[in-house]
Amino acid sequence: MGTTQSGILGGRLPLADYETNFSDLHPALDRHEALVASDRCYFCHDAPCMTACPTSIDIPLFIRQISTGNPIGSAKTIFDQNILGGMCARVCPTETLCEQACVRNTAEERPVEIGRLQRYATDIAMKENKQFYTRAASSGRRVAVVGAGPAGLACAHRLAVKGHEVVIYDAREKSGGLNEYGIAAYKSVDDFAQSEVDYVLSIGGIEVRNGQALGRDFSLSDLAEQYDAVFLGLGLAGVNALRIEGENAEGVDDAVDFISALRQSKTKADIAVGRRVVVLGGGMTAIDAAVQAKLLGAEEVTICYRRGKEHMNASEFEQDLAASKGVTIRHWLQPKRIALKDDKVAGIELEYTTLVDGKLTTTGETGIIAADQIFKAIGQTFEASGLGSLAFEGGRIVIDAEGKTSLPNVWAGGDCVVGGEDLTVSAVANGRDAAEAINRAFAAAMPRASAVA
């Protein structure tokens, strides 16, 4: 028996409901389903899906390999471009990437299920622990990678394949970055993120040092001295502040912390959630927090976003998912003040907004939504120290087309760089490409006869 009591509590639902609510969002395809789904692929030439994929996976080929009964070959086609293809199959917003580009949309508004097919093939290969890559002869080069998230792991793997020694530093206890701490629990069940980290690291030649934070335990200049090259694959540790009255009250929380706590908890019933919850923001983080608050048994969950539906960063699919779970999404509302009662959150006062000459302005009208918990999901910021004289622009690291920063022998990619897209798959592409660039730089620095690039 659960409870509808007000306040912020765990155990709002009967125990059995948690398992149902947090089961796989898209269950895995079985063999027959995969064959039927793969049969719909036209094997397009110069395929639009492939162009839409930030890691340029040869989608028509991997789907054809599934259809001809060769899921292992299919997995290799995927991993050749994206060693984190298993997680990307689960978390990619395929509806705005490959599946949006699928030519089937034109004729029948139903794309080939590329994401689920990718999961089908990669699951089979990973379950068999099928290793496709071996390390090249040792180059004697050592590379430091900062951040064991998608960018760092992809970079480290490709460097290891090329025969370089890699040491990954990560501030957190576990590797995986946002894959481990920042994705809704129902998108990565059965501890998949850690299994994937193990799978990636099994190439060998990669040492991971967890609990090592840049700026606290070491600095970029330390690494530059000790290693032949450095790759910065840092995440966004900071959270934007609301800068309104009552922000520090009990019951106002960061959505990223809530999402992370959910991922790390073995028993979801332990996670406390309000009876009435308001989530501020319009991106994936807002949706992940709101949906999971609802799944934990919150009676009323409202997302408030200060612009219109068309401006939301969360995809249409994610918005629909939230709606289907009973989350209300309200637009054109900007937080004005947190209303308190006995020093605890009692609600939030919001002000209506509108666009005037393309500029967001408040209309002066306000309203209050009752709430006992408020989640902030209004964006994250790059907050790193220990980076010395590295060049920044708008708070992110400046890189060139090769992923190289302003400092010699230092590359960067993922969310921490200018133009970072806040997507796992883009981070993977950045990391992989930086590894290739580092490898080329090593080769160029070597005597001609022994260059291996």
Partner 1 sequence: MADLRNNFVGIKSPNPFWLASAPPTDKAYNVERAFKAGWGGVVWKTLGEEGPPVVNVNGPRYGAIWGADRRLLGLNNIELITDRDLYVNLREMKQVKMNWPDRALIASIMVPCEEEAWKAILPLVEETNADGIELNFGCPHGMSERGMGAAVGQVPEYIEMVVRWCKQYTRMPVITKLTPNITDVRKPARAAKAGGTDAVSLINTINSIVSVDLDNFAPNPTVGGKGTHGGYCGPAVKPIALNMVAEIARDPETYGLPISGIGGVTTWRDAAEFLVLGAGNVQVCTAAMTYGFKIVQEMISGLSDWMDAKGHRNLDDITGRAVPNVTDWQYLNLNYIAKAKIDQDSCIKCGRCHIACEDTSHQAITQFVNGVRHFEVMEDECVGCNLCVNVCPVENCITMEELPAGVMDQRTGKPVDPNYANWTTHPNNPMARQAAE
In this structure, how many other beta carbons lie within 10 angstroms of the beta carbon of residue 444?
A: 10
CB of 196 to partner 1, least distance (A): 22
Cα–Cα distances in Å, from 444 out to 332, 409, 438, 448, 450? 54, 13, 10, 8, 10
Q: Which is nearer to partner 1, 43 or 385 (CB)?
A: 43
Q: Which is nearer to partner 1, 21 or 74 (CB)?
A: 74
Q: Which is nearer to partner 1, 80 or 299 (CB)?
A: 80
Rule CB under 8 A: say whether 155 interacts with partner 1: no
Rule CB under 8 A: say whether 43 interacts with partner 1: yes
Rule CB under 8 A: say whether 64 interacts with partner 1: yes
Rule CB under 8 A: say whether 398 interacts with partner 1: no
CB of 68 to partner 1, least distance (A): 4
Q: Which is nearer to partner 1, 70 or 319 (CB)?
A: 70
Q: Which one of the spans 31-39, 195-203, 325-333, 378-386 is the region binding partner 1 (CB under 8 A)?
A: 31-39
Number of shown-chain residues binding partner 1 (CB under 8 A): 16
Q: Which is nearer to partner 1, 161 or 259 (CB)?
A: 161
Q: Which is nearer to partner 1, 134 or 450 (CB)?
A: 134
CB of 78 to partner 1, least distance (A): 12
Q: Which one of the spans 39-47, 139-147, 312-320, 433-441 is the region binding partner 1 (CB under 8 A)?
A: 39-47
Rule CB under 8 A: say whether 353 interacts with partner 1: no
Q: Which is nearer to partner 1, 25 or 28 (CB)?
A: 28
Position 344, amino acid: K
CB of 37 to partner 1, least distance (A): 12
CB of 42 to partner 1, least distance (A): 9
Pick from 40, 142, 336, 344: which binds partner 1 (CB under 8 A)? 40
Residues 67-126 that bind partner 1 (CB under 8 A): 68-70, 72-73, 76-77
Pick from 45, 127, 243, 448: which binds partner 1 (CB under 8 A)? 45
Pick from 21, 65, 82, 94: which binds partner 1 (CB under 8 A)? 65
Which residues contact partner 1 (rule: CB under 8 A)? 31-32, 39-40, 43, 45, 61, 64-65, 68-70, 72-73, 76-77
